[in-house]
């Protein structure tokens, strides 16, 4: 097969085998528009275009991958394990900037298999991460680049966004474990990648809520308050729930119980309410105020009402 020349935006010119170049749907379309390149023999390669969105070092990596796959890396000549090993070695030593650039290059050149290869490396890195954490990991230059890359990475990921702009990336199946998120998806009859929640949330606390829901995903759902209270007489003393509750201070508990309420996670709401009540029962108003950093005391009636409604906790 003949060779062609392609120029990158830094002025470098690459001589590329036509079959290797055709790994890119974009370049393949370019060749079809020119017509007759493959019938012109193996003489001097002609310059067929400039890749204005790619620099030389990035295009070199794309060509290395495409050459391997052209030589059988993506076909039956090599086992799946061999290809995975080659891919891992190919990407080893890359910094995040290089990974970002190759993803964007694969998207620009329309090379689906290379996108799949790089996405495999990225997918596990984005679960439960906030945009701030992703920017630190992936070195995003701006929100536009973040949205382009994260929009490309995986159709199975969604971005939860609060009314004040906080965001968190989650696997779509994990996101659907949050009843409010699931109902929003069903109302819109869509699997769109951005789910806007009609309230504020702390991304850090939402991560903890997600951890709890994932662990308890197979628990029966409490339909009534009485069922919920009875259920958590047992689970409050479980080792996993104790470890979950231990690092939460009073402020976290209050914020998280409100978040559980807004997300309609009844079992978690009852667990957290029980923990809060256990910290109140038997304490004097001054002790309660000190524990929860309250500016105003509960009235006698309010304190009695809280204790009465959560009297089941005192029995544990």
For the chain, give the longest Cα–Cα distance: 95
Residue 21: Cβ within 10 Å count: 24
Evaluate whether 214 touches 178 at the Cβ level (below 8 Å). Answer: no
CA distance 156 to 22: 28
Q: Among 100, 118, 136, which residue terminates a domain?
A: 118
More confident residue, 146 or 119: 119
Q: How many domains does the chain have?
A: 2
Residues 10 and 106 placed together within one structural domain of the fold = yes
- Whether 169 shows a pLDDT value over 90: the answer reads no
Mean pLDDT on 68-95: 79
Band of the pLDDT at 221, cuts 50, 70, 90?
Answer: low
What is the CATH classification number for the domain harbouring 228? 3.30.710.10
Q: Is the pLDDT of residue 293 over 80?
A: no
Give pLDDT, residue 277: 83
How high is the pLDDT of residue 224? 46
108/212 same-domain check: no
Please tell me whether residues 7 and 114 are part of one structural domain: yes
Q: 3-class DSSP state for residue 161?
A: strand
Averaged pLDDT, 170-189: 82
Instruction: Determine the average pLDDT of the residues in 276-289.
Output: 78
**Which of 69, 101, 118 is the endpoint of a domain?**
118
pLDDT at 164: 64
More confident site: 247 or 192: 247
Alpha carbon distances (Å) from 104 to 112, 150, 224: 12, 11, 50
The whole-number average pLDDT for the span 265-272 is 88
Q: What single-letter DSSP state applies at residue 49?
A: E
* DSSP structure class, residue 71: I
Quote the pLDDT of residue 103.
86
Residue environment code for 196-229, b if the CB has 16+ CB neighbours within 10 A, otherwise e? ebeeebbbebbbbbbebbeebeeeeebeeeeebb
Asked if residue 285 is part of any domain, the answer here is yes
Sign of the dihedral through C-alpha 107, 111, 114, 115: positive
Among 97, 118, 139, the domain-final residue is 118
Q: Quickly state the pLDDT bin for 110 (edges 50, 70, 90).
A: confident
The C-alpha atoms of residue 249 and residue 1 are separated, in whole angstroms, by 68
Task: State which residues form the domain around 242.
Answer: 203-314
Q: Got the DSSP string for 181-228?
A: HHHHHHHHT---SEEE-SS---HHHHHHHHHHHHHTTTSPPP-SHHHH
- Determine how β-strand 157-161 pairs with β-strand 167-171: antiparallel
* Highest mean pLDDT: which range of 71-75, 120-124, 203-207, 309-313: 203-207
Q: Is residue 143 part of a domain?
A: no
Q: Alpha carbon of 185 to those of 130, 188, 262: distances in Å?
A: 21, 5, 16
Looking at the domain assignment, is residue 182 inside a domain? no
Q: How far apart are CA 88 and CA 80, in angstroms?
A: 12
Instruction: Check if the beta carbon of residue 74 is closer than 8 Å to that of residue 114.
Output: no
What is the model's pTM?
0.47
CB-based contact 236:272 (threshold 8 Å): no
Residue 122 has pLDDT above 90, yes or no: no
Q: For the residues 177-193, what does the mean pLDDT come to?
A: 75
Q: In the structure, what pLDDT confidence band is assigned to residue 260 with cuts at 50, 70 and 90?
A: very high
297 lies in a domain? yes
Contacts of 183 (CB under 8 A, 6+ apart): 264
Look at residue 169 and tell me if it is in a domain: no
* 275 vs 57, higher pLDDT: 57
Average pLDDT over residues 56-81: 81
147 domain residue, yes or no:
no
**CA atoms of 76 and 73, how far apart (whole Å):** 8
In a domain, 100, yes or no: yes
Residue 66 predicted with pLDDT over 90 = yes
Give yes or no for a contact between 17 and 1, defined as CB atoms under 8 angstroms apart.
yes
Would the pLDDT of 312 be above 60? Answer: no
Residue 306 lies in a domain: yes
């Amino acid at each position: 097969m003949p060779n062609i020349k392609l120029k990158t935006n830094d002025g470098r010119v690459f001589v590329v085998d036509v079959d290797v170049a055709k790994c890119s749907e974009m370049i393949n379309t370019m060749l079809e528009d020119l017509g007759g390149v493959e019938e012109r023999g193996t003489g001097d390669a002609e310059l067929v275009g400039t890749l204005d969105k790619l620099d030389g070092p990035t295009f070199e990596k794309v060509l290395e991958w495409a050459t391997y796959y052209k030589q059988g890396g993506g076909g039956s000549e090599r086992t799946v394990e061999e290809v995975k090993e080659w891919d891992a070695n190919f990407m080893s030593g890359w910094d995040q900037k290089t990974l970002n650039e190759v993803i964007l290059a694969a998207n620009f050149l329309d090379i689906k298999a290379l996108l799949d290869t790089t996405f495999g490396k990225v997918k596990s890195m984005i679960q439960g991460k906030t945009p701030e954490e992703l920017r630190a990991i992936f070195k995003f230059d701006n929100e536009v680049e973040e949205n382009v890359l994260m929009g490309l990475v995986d159709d199975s990921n969604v971005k939860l966004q609060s009314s004040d702009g906080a965001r968190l990336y989650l696997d779509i199946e994990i996101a659907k474990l949050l009843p409010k998120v699931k109902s929003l998806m069903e109302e819109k009859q869509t699997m769109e990648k951005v789910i806007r929640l009609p309230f504020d949330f702390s991304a850090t606390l939402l991560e903890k809520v997600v951890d709890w829901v994932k662990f308890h995903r197979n628990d029966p759902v409490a339909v009534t308050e009485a069922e919920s209270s009875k259920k958590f007489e047992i689970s409050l003393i479980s080792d996993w729930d104790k470890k979950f509750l231990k690092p939460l201070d009073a402020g976290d508990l209050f914020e998280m119980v409100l978040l559980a309420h807004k997300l309609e996670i009844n079992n978690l709401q009852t667990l957290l309410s029980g923990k809060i009540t256990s910290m109140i029962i038997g304490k004097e108003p001054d002790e309660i105020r000190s524990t929860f950093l309250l500016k105003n005391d509960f009235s006698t009636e309010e304190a009695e009402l809280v204790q009465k409604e959560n009297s089941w906790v005192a029995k544990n």
